[in-house]
Amino acid sequence: MAVEAEIDRLPIDLLAHIFVLITSFTDLAQVSSVCRKWRKGVTQSLGGRHNLSFAGCKMDDVSTARLVRHAYSLKELDISRSRWGCQISDNGLYQISLAKCVSNLTSISLWGMTGVTDKGVAHLISRANSLQHLNIGGTFITDESLFVIADNCSHLKYFGAAVI
């Protein structure tokens, strides 16, 4: 008869609460590969997060959108580019815009995301009705995005747009 390890007795809710404290997505990926129960705990921990920051992480469209889809309580999203380069494209912004949490986002930072255009920004912003803070500085967007922002962001309090 196999003896159950003490860690296996922890309920998934408690594991998820512990995993919320992990801020590194690399560490979360490693934790989620331990076993099915831990993977479920990581997924559940994403659901309770109010902010996600991929700034400084080497992320792509698919993995970023997948994480955002699991973060159903999300209020703040930072996919700014930094030294390591979060490489999100218009396709990634489109995939992110389909997440249920997007209509509840109050803050989005796309600072330095040179791989996005007006098309991707329009998809995301048109579904983010609750935005209060938006940073699109360091991007190559044009007036087209500014018109979409003006039409869709009636609650906007902060707007950063030092456009390249």
**Backbone dihedral angles phi then psi of residue 34, each to the nearest 5 degrees:** -65, -50
Number of domains within the chain: 2
Q: Are residues 1 and 54 in the same domain?
A: no
Q: For residue 83, what is the DSSP state?
A: T
Q: Are residues 25 and 95 in the same domain?
A: no
pLDDT at position 1 is: 45
Tell me the CB-side half-sphere exposure of residue 112, using CA atoms within 13 A: 13
pLDDT grade, residue 158 (50/70/90)? Answer: confident
Q: Are residues 37 and 58 in the same domain?
A: no
pTM above 0.85, yes or no: no
Q: For residue 114, what is the DSSP state?
A: T
Which CATH number is 97's domain given?
A: 3.80.10.10
- Mean of the per-residue pLDDT values for the chain? 85
Q: Are residues 53 and 95 in the same domain?
A: yes
Q: Are residues 136 and 80 in the same domain?
A: yes
pLDDT at position 86 is: 58
- Over residues 72-119, the pLDDT tens digits come to 899 999 988 755 555 789 999 999 999 999 999 999 999 888 888 999
Q: Are residues 23 and 97 in the same domain?
A: no
Coil, helix or strand for 106? Answer: coil
pLDDT at position 125 is: 94
Which residue segment(s) compose the domain that 141 sits in?
48-160
